[in-house]
């Protein structure tokens, strides 16, 4: 728990570029984030909201990721669930939330310029 609180504090104070982490102090197991749409893409100026839900088995089990903002992308289900390997088969207990958020940004439509 102490490690999680420290990591969330670090993410809030020094977030990855283009990602904002909103720490819910009442429930650290539910982490909100916002990803900015990159310039020179159809997503420029957009802000894409999401959540990481950390279950009772975290960090042994990965968090579940969801976009709240409706997004059409092969890595995002119709319900908004984020399907990237780091949240599935590539998860390890040592995987940090910073890495998860960067992977989500890179695998989400906000990084696509095609």
The predicted-structure confidence for 23-80, as pLDDT tens digits, reads as follows: 888 999 999 999 987 667 677 788 999 999 999 999 999 999 999 999 877 888 999 9
Q: What is the pLDDT of residue 92?
A: 95
What are the residues whose beta carbons fall under 8 Å from the beta carbon of 75, sequence distance 6 or more? 82, 83, 84, 107, 108
Please, what CATH class does the domain formed by 1-106 belong to? Answer: alpha beta
> Residue 106 — very low, low, confident or very high, per pLDDT cuts 50/70/90?
confident
Sign of dihedral through CA atoms 67, 70, 76, 81? positive
Determine contact, residues 69/49, Cβ cutoff 8 Å.
yes
Residue ranges per structural domain of the chain: 1-106
Burial 29-51 (b: 16+ CB within 10 A, else e): eebebbbbbbeeeebeebebbbb
Q: List the catalytic residue out of 5, 61, 68, 83.
A: 83
The model carries a pTM of 0.86
Active site residue 106: no
């Amino acid at each position: 728990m102490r490690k999680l609180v420290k990591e969330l504090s670090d993410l809030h104070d020094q977030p990855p570029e283009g990602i904002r982490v909103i720490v819910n102090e009442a429930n650290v197991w539910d982490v909100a984030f916002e990803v900015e749409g990159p310039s020179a893409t159809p997503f420029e100026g957009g802000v894409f909201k999401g959540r990481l839900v950390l279950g009772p088995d975290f960090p042994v089990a990965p968090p579940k990721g969801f976009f709240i903002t409706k997004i059409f992308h092969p890595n995002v289900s119709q319900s908004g669930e984020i399907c990237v390997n780091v949240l599935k088969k590539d998860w390890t207990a040592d995987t940090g939330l910073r890495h998860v958020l960067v992977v989500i940004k890179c695998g989400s439509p906000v990084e696509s310029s095609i």
